[in-house]
Amino acid sequence: MDNGDKSWMNLLRWTDEYIRGVNDFLDKAFERAAQGNEILCPCKKCMNRYWHYRNVVEDHLVFHGFVDGYAKWVFNGEGFSSRNTPHPSNGDECSTICGDIDGLLHDTFRNIEGQVGDEKGVGERLSEDAKKFFKLLEEGKQELYPGCKNFSKLSFTIRLYLLKSFHGLSNVAFSDLLELIKEAFPFAQKMSKTNTENRNRLKCPHTAGRTPFSLIREEKKKEISDTLDTLSS
């Protein structure tokens, strides 16, 4: 994974070579950086913010492609010899992911923003995804504690979870760490108590009703075939 040829990432996503490259990437990512049966998804939608099973990540990478500029797969084990020691060489990667909370949320929930209106009672008609969007957006604006300029409530939760991944903390160890933080710092009393609760809060909303990558691939092939037929007629 570390020094291999990655030129396949620039190929058309429905080609055999691209599919083979994705599967090779997934083999190594799950070997080195999996938490349970999931890894951070590096597709353009998830941007290494959400954990998914292998088949979901595969679908995302074929349908959406890799996030732009992801040349070194630091969130998926590149540079690490063991799946239990994944962490970047500095804090820049964590900070980048947490830097633009509003942007991340708007990108993630872009399909539900059209539900918003000015009339009274709109909250009663919002979907669950829309309600989650506004709750996370509000947390993204709230200071972690009065006077804190470095973290919002949401960015602190995301940063904790990234550190869990980078350093290979088990779910039990991470939950115990959360409990210690809650005991030591008054601002942390409203934090989720367990690793599972925090992961569920950060689940990506657009995986339901996903299109299997094999169907997407066939659609693309048909699209090309139809185009060629049109040009040759």
Query: Three-class SS of residue 11?
Result: coil
Measure the CA dihedral 89/90/91/94, to 10°.
Answer: -30
Amino acid type, 42: P
Cα separation of 154 and 179, whole Å? 17
Cα separation of 48 and 100, whole Å? 14
Q: What is the pLDDT of residues 130-189, one digit of tens each?
A: 566 556 666 667 777 888 877 777 778 777 777 776 677 788 888 888 888 888 887 766
More confident residue, 113 or 15: 15
Q: What is the pLDDT of residues 77-124, one digit of tens each?
A: 886 554 444 444 444 444 444 445 555 555 555 554 444 444 344 444
The pLDDT value given to residue 26: 96
Sign of CA pseudo-dihedral 58, 62, 63, 66: positive
Cα separation of 110 and 92, whole Å? 26
Q: What is the pLDDT of residues 123-136, one digit of tens each?
A: 444 556 556 655 66
The pLDDT value given to residue 137: 60
Question: What is the pTM for the complete model shown?
Answer: 0.43
The beta-strand segments (E) located in the chain are 38-40, 51-53
DSSP state letters, 22-33: HHHHHHHHHHHH
Q: What is the pLDDT of residues 29-47, one digit of tens each?
A: 998 888 889 999 999 988 8
More confident residue, 49 or 61: 61
Max distance between CA atoms of the chain, in angstroms, equals 74
Instruction: Kindly give the pairing relationship between strand 51-53 and strand 38-40.
Output: antiparallel
Cα separation of 172 and 103, whole Å? 31
